[in-house]
A = this chain, B = another copy of it.
Amino acid sequence: MINLSDKILEETIIKRPNKSYKGTFGRITLIGGNKNFAGAIIMASSAAVYAGAGLVTTMTDKNNKTALNEALPEAMYADYKKITDNKALIQNADVIVIGPGLGTNESSEKILRNVLKLIGKNQKLIIDGSAITLIAKRKIKLPQAKIILTPHQMEWQRLSGIKIDEQNYTVNKKCQEKLNAIVVLKSHRTEIYTNDKCFKNTVGTPAQATGGMGDTLAGMIAGFIGQFKQTEQAVSAAIYMHSKIAEELSKNQYVVLPHQIINNIPYYMKKYQKK
């Protein structure tokens, strides 16, 4: 277990190349947000945009379109019930996020299955929230791709079968290897299991224990891996920065809200950018 420090940011967040255009910084498609959980996909999408993603498309319930457009004019919208009419939005993406606010009913499952069918093996796929639960409960097979799973401890129990109080490095690592995915096990001190190394978050605050934080993190990870080549490093940097911002803000705030973290991403990325 490598303890994360500011170094991960300085190593990851490179100076942007002068000759670049929006395509250089990643095409990201996020899928989630049922009628009841619009906010989850809005926060995830916002985090991706504020983390520097070049082009962001949000596929969500049609009832969430207006709120998305207002909160984040930078994102494009598509109806997540029309995945098969919009294959290119999945297939041309560099990074796909599925799960924030997706829900776990039959309709959610159908959307999830439709997305997974379209994923190519060179694409990066973040599976978050209800998508993890669905995969665990319905025993859905993971596609061939560069997969990042972001379960909290209960979702990890569902997926791995390891009970929360039995979760430890050895069993988690073994299961991660079997899954052949990066596993971000969220807790008070989040752990990141990869094929190579494992990392442990060292910052964070109980002020960030509030609804929407996981969605925000998933979007940040997407933004980072859309821009920075080394995926394990980019995932770790996103997790560390997410908590770092919360910790800093918590010096003046009893609770830190997701949108406040999101708004601060561009400033913190600049501050910790590789010199």
Contacts and interface: CB of A to CB of B under 8 A. Distances in A.
Interface of A: 13, 16-22, 24-25, 35-40, 42-43, 49-56, 63-67, 69-78, 152, 187-188, 205-207, 209-213, 250-259, 265-267, 269-270, 273
Contact of A259 (B55, B69, B73, B257): B73
Contacts of A75: 39, 211
Given A13-B254, A66-B67, A69-B67, A74 B273 contact: no
B206 A54 contact: no
Taken together, the copies of this chain in the complex come to 4
Given A21-B188, A254-B266, A255-B52, A38 B73 contact: yes
A151 B63 CA distance: 33
Given A39-B72, A54-B210, A74-B212, 8 more contacts: A16-B254, A25-B210, A39-B73, A39-B74, A43-B74, A66-B67, A76-B211, A256-B266
A42 B54 contact: no
Given A206-B16, A266-B253, A70 B73 contact: no
B206 A73 contact: no
